[in-house]
Amino acid sequence: MLKENKNHTILVIDDDRDILKVLKANLELHKYNVATAESWTEGQKTISARKPDLLILDLMLPDGDGVEICRTLRKQYPSLPIIMLTAKDKISDKVIGLESGADDYVVKPFETLELIARIKACMRRSKPSTEEQITIGKLSIDYKRRIVKVKNKEIILTPKEYDLLCLLISSRGSVLSREEIKNHLWKESKIYSWSRVIDVHIQHLRQKIEDNPSEPEYIITVSGIGYRFKPE
């Protein structure tokens, strides 16, 4: 969904009008086009009409649960970067938000500059790679189009799952610790219980690319350290 135009469109869905006004003003100062919605119903219409490059989604909406909404969006728009915005700051809430498919999680109240940094990070991660493509066994990746296929059948990955797969492949044969994975994919975020978040993303990725996720052919667990992608 990322456009060539530098003035990317960001959709903010939040039922707090004051937050919408502040976010719209600050994001526009940073040259973003900003659309806002006060409900999930309104947000759905805006997504269809504006095709945003990034979504900032409140966890608690009057007509929908943010976690379930995020899961739904992941199925409909797998490449859309999503930042979860919420007043909940428990570790369990953050983990649930990230596991639902969100790319990042920001707790209210927040600093605008921090949010801008996280937006830029999500935008960078969603840019196409300059590489062409690679095939490893039954798995193939078209980097320019961000298309992943298993046995010539396209599979849908979330932006974070795609980034994780590309990171593992770029280091294939070598072991990546959980700390290294965190520093590459969640560099700008204060991820709590991040080890669990990484393990869950690995689990989801295995379910999509492995014939038998319980006996993985590609993503191998290195006990006590992390993961490695088995070379061809």
The CATH fold of domain 9-125: Rossmann fold (3.40.50)
- Report which secondary-structure segment, H or E, holds 201: helix 194-209
Residue type, 165: L
Which CATH code fits 133-229?
A: 1.10.10.10
Which whole-number Å values give the CA distances from 190 to 53, 83, 95, 128, 182, in the listed order?
23, 13, 12, 25, 10
Q: What is the mean pLDDT of the chain?
A: 83
- Where in the chain are the domains? 9-125, 133-229
pTM higher than 0.75:
no
Looking at the predicted structure, is the pLDDT value of residue 25 above 70? yes
Asked if the domains 9-125 and 133-229 are classified in one and the same CATH topology, the answer is no
Give a three-class secondary structure readout of 25-77.
HHHHHCCCEEEEECCHHHHHHHHHHHCCCEEEEECEECCEEHHHHHHHHHHHC
Tens digits of per-residue pLDDT, 203-232? 999 999 999 999 999 999 998 889 999 876
31-58 pLDDT, tens digit each: 899 999 999 999 999 998 888 999 999 9
Give the pLDDT confidence score for residue 149 in this predicted structure: 94
DSSP state of 157: -
